[in-house]
Amino acid sequence: MPTESGNSTNTTSPTGQADTPAKGWLLDEFKVGDFFFASPNTQYRARGKEGVLSSYKPATSASVQALFEQARQRGISDPLMFGLVPFDSTDAASMAIPLRYESDGIPAASAVSAGQPASSNAKPKIVRREPVPAPQEYGDMVRKALTLFAQGELKKVVLARAMDIELDRPLDYERLLPDLLSRNAHGYTFAVPIWANGDQTEPTGVMVGASPELLVRREGDRIYVNPLAGSIGRSSDPDIDRERREGLACSEKDLREHSYVVSDIERILRPYCDELEVPAGPSVIGTDTLWHLSTYITGRLRDPSVTALDLSCALHPTPAICGHPTAAAFGHIRDLEPFDREYFAGLVGWQRANGDGEWALSLRCALHTDANRLRLYAGAGTVAGSDPDSEIAETATKMETFMRAIS
């Protein structure tokens, strides 16, 4: 058993890769209020009922340091902070240090099927769904953005929509999370509670999802950034799927959208780094539903006291989830979208007291607010030449990962 805020007996190497393969996912008896975060190499689990230290303030170096200071005063060894930073980073972030946690590597596919039995409960059925806004209204939002492009004010804006879901029974995390993990083997799967009321036993909600996109990972003075921008839905027909992949790789519209993201990230990171390696062009990577343009950036920090979250907040929001120019796009998102994104398209991840950590973008996700209700989210990057119907289809495809895992 783990000791107070100690690792499980299966230790991990400095790169996050387990020394021995994990036997299964750390998901037994998973309840609302528990924490889970899995990257391609490592998984973390904590039980909220065992106690947490929490902070509900904007994510600043001072607020994070104050939380780790609380952990030090409690005598917690090797504290691990889980966090959620909203799309608008001036709003309150939810940060929490569990009193105990476990970590392990990622199980092989054979170990998952043998070591992670399916929940005995049947999958819930969706009894009500309500788009926010309706698809046609979302198309109108895209058309308004195209007018802004024609006026020369914007080059890109990412517009989001939501879907409110009601289930016929409570959400079952022991079934949902393994399903998301199986669909997101190379991504970042998470269930992180929101501690907004100071109550150490009951969170106000949970952000749960399977993001394909790493924003920042820090290991000592090394940083890794992997923006995705430009995507197309996959096909079950191998020939069509290959054509779509090849088409995305040379799509002028998608390459232009991707270049806005990479150039902005490079501009922001340069002052922080003695070394920064940015590939000349993107590659194409796939999830179960989408092909994405991807650029994998690496660097060496000039000042090793800069934490993973410091860098993530400096980059956030990137053009990948906001637009370009960022400030103008941010303002138009507030005008065009009929809801508050809250933690959607924000940051989700973990961090140690020494500043090492991983922060992903909270995408392909849902806000779970009570037993039977969730709000799903998706967004699409709109640039000159975008087609409203295609953007409606893209956002629907992005919701499919979560929709399939539920029912």
Catalogue the active-site residues. Answer: 156, 213
**At a CB cut-off of 8 Å and minimum separation 6, what does 314 contact?**
268, 272
Q: How far apart are CA 307 and CA 356, in angstroms?
A: 6
Identify the sign of the CA torsion 98, 100, 104, 106: negative
What DSSP assignment string belongs to 294-353? E--EEEEESSTTS-HHHHHHHHPSPTTTSEESHHHHHHHHHHH-SS--TTTTSEEEEEET
Per-residue b or e along 173-211, where b marks 16 or more CB atoms closer than 10 Å to that residue's CB: bbbbbbbbbbbbeebbbbbbbbbeeeebeebebbbbbbb
Contact 80, 350 (CB under 8 A): yes
Identify the sign of the CA torsion 395, 398, 401, 406: negative
Element (H, E) at 189: strand 188-194
Q: Which two tokens stand for residue 110?
A: 């054979």
* Among the listed residues 330, 341, 389, 384, the one whose alpha carbon sits nearest the alpha carbon of residue 156: 384
Element (H, E) at 230: strand 228-233
What DSSP assignment string belongs to 264-303? HHHHHHGGGEEEEE--SS-EEEE-SSEEEEE--EEEEESS
Q: What is the DSSP letter of 87?
A: S
Q: How far apart are CA 171 and CA 165, in angstroms?
A: 11
- Can you give the length of the chain in residues? 407
Contact 313, 139 (CB under 8 A): no
